[in-house]
Amino acid sequence: MIEAGTELPPLTVTFKRDDLVRYAGASGDFNPIHWNDRMASALGLPGVIAHGMLTMASAVRVVTDWLDDPADLVEYGVRFTKPVVVPDDDKGASVTFSATVGKVADGLAEIDITAVAGEEKVLGRAKAVVRVR
3-state secondary structure of 88: coil
**Cα dihedral 15→53→30→45 (10° resolution):** -70
Q: What is the pLDDT of residues 25-49, one digit of tens each?
A: 999 999 999 999 999 999 999 999 9
For residue 93, give the 3-state DSSP assignment: strand
Look at residue 1 and tell me whether its pLDDT is greater than 90: no
Task: Please report which confidence band the pLDDT of residue 59 belongs to, taking 50, 70 and 90 as the band edges.
Answer: very high
Residues 60 and 38: their CA atoms lie apart, in Å, by: 31
What is the C-alpha to C-alpha distance for residues 130 and 113, in angstroms, rounded to an integer? 13
User: What's the predicted TM-score (pTM) here?
Assistant: 0.94
- For residue 80, the SS3 value is strand
Q: How far apart are CA 25 and CA 111, in angstroms?
A: 31
| One-letter identity of residue 59 | A
How high is the pLDDT of residue 37?
A: 96
